[in-house]
Structure 1
Amino acid sequence: MATNRAPPSEQEIKGRIITHMNTQHSRELSHYLRHYVGLSARAATASPAIQDMSLTGMAIKTLNGTYDVPFSPPLSSWAEARPRVIAMDVTAREALGISDIYLTEYAWPRGFDWVPLGGVVFYYICCVGLPWVVPGSGIWDTLEVVFPGGPEWFLWIVRTIFWIVFGIHVVEVFLLDRWRLQKHGVPRFSRVWWAWTSNIFFEGVTTWNRLDSIIAAKRAEKEGKKH
């Protein structure tokens, strides 16, 4: 004989919501802390987890403390919890300039990407090797034969453009972090962050194209799932 199962209690519903948010949506919790509490990105991503929750708000704990994030207006029932936390995340992401497409992987250079990468790496090797470019050395003799203008011109070029090359690539690291990596949820100094920033420092502009193609593919895949 079938028995009627009692509906879950409010405490059980709250427990399920907390467990789901803590296990599946820690990224969203960090968004709440950044937007509604004003924490820095580093502080907000320090293992955020809901410690307690009520119809009036959430208490989110991190390694640095516990912070109250209110529901405004308060929930009238737990049935409103899911659409509310989704809406709060949309509001937080828009205010923070964070996309709903997250970059979680690194992609190696491909095809033509290796050309600028090889060129910049070769240039830095030339910079490191300057102390060995002296009259009478094998490098000096080789440059007299193969390099237009000879070793003197080689030394002048390498030394003159160093700060230009270095400065351009440092700026590209800064802009990639600000315009792409932070926007697409890559934590600073994470493994993925180091991979992309190191890459653009040596490769340059083609890094943008490769990263944007990944983002575009993720966007297309997400839009396809909606239909």
Structure 2
Amino acid sequence: MAKLADVAAAAPPATTAQSPAASPRDRITAHMNSDHQRELSLYLRHYAGLGQSAAATPWLKDVTLEGMTIAAGGLSGKEYHVAFDPILDSWADVRPAVVEMARVSRQALGLSDVAVTHFAPPQGIAVVVFGSVVFYFVCWLTLGYVLPGTPIWSFLQAAFPGGPRLYRWLVKAIFLPVLAIHLAECYWFHRTRLQRHGIEAGTGLWWTWIGSLFFEGICGFIRFDAIVAAKKKENEGKSH
């Protein structure tokens, strides 16, 4: 997660009487709405008790030294008050307060401070694994065409050890185990990777990762973990 910027930093001096400096309240709300939608969603989930879907597209309506008013579902959504505890003494206290609240929210929700926002396609051996699993399911889907007298039947008699009858039996026999293993991998990937790193179930990004993971298995875990590790290193570099 990108480090929260100094939301209480002083604005540049106004150049004309018609362009007065923005108030601390305005600067904070603009900054949070622009750069920290994920944190606003976390506040709603942890402090207001909303579910992930209900807390989507949050909007910071107002901020005072007593707390934040956040709308769930966009600017016109239902408003929730998230209090600062204790009440702040000055605007300079807002940044450390929201940083700590984000940390507490992530910890309580079992989330990471690293958010993955893109999909990386399989490469190298992962492509081979992906293609092999796709090929197996094609074999299963086309079993109805493997019949005596067909060209594929003749081909399997000549090329497949055990012939077409063993081929049909083998493809059928391993279908349920293969399906169960790959569905279990998808479930575990969602629970331990996608959900933890901010990819909401049912979104386009979620379906892309899950669809790829179904066919490539462990290779997808390795690639996703590499993305997380790279983002952590990048964030650590920014903090120094």
Aligned to 2:10: none
May I ask how many residue pairs the two structures share in their alignment?
Answer: 221
- Report runs of 4+ in structure 1 exceeding 6 Å deviation: none
Measure how far apart 1:106 and its partner are: 0.9
TM-score (norm 1): 0.92
Percent identity at matched positions? 45
Q: Secondary structure at the match of 1:41?
A: coil
Structure 1 segment 84-163 matched on structure 2, within 5 A: 84-163=97-176
Structure 1 segment 213-224 matched on structure 2, within 5 A: 213-224=226-237
RMSD: 1.9
Structure 1 segment 57-96 matched on structure 2, within 5 A: 57-63=67-73, 64-96=77-109
Q: Secondary structure at the match of 1:99?
A: coil
Q: Secondary structure at the match of 1:136?
A: coil
Q: Tell me, yes or no, if structure 1 residue 169 matches structure 2 residue 179.
A: no
CA offsets, 1:103-155, max 9 Å, x none? 11111111111121111000000011011011111111111111111111111
Q: Secondary structure at the match of 1:166?
A: helix
CA offsets, 1:182-224, max 9 Å, x none? 1111122222211110001111111111111111111122222
Counterparts of 2:59 and 2:110, CA distance in 1: 22
Aligned to 1:190: 203
Gapped regions of structure 2 (runs ≥ 5): 1-15
Aligned to 2:50: 39
Measure how far apart 1:159 and its partner are: 0.8
1:84 is aligned with what amino acid? A
Counterparts of 1:226 and 1:62, CA distance in 2: 30
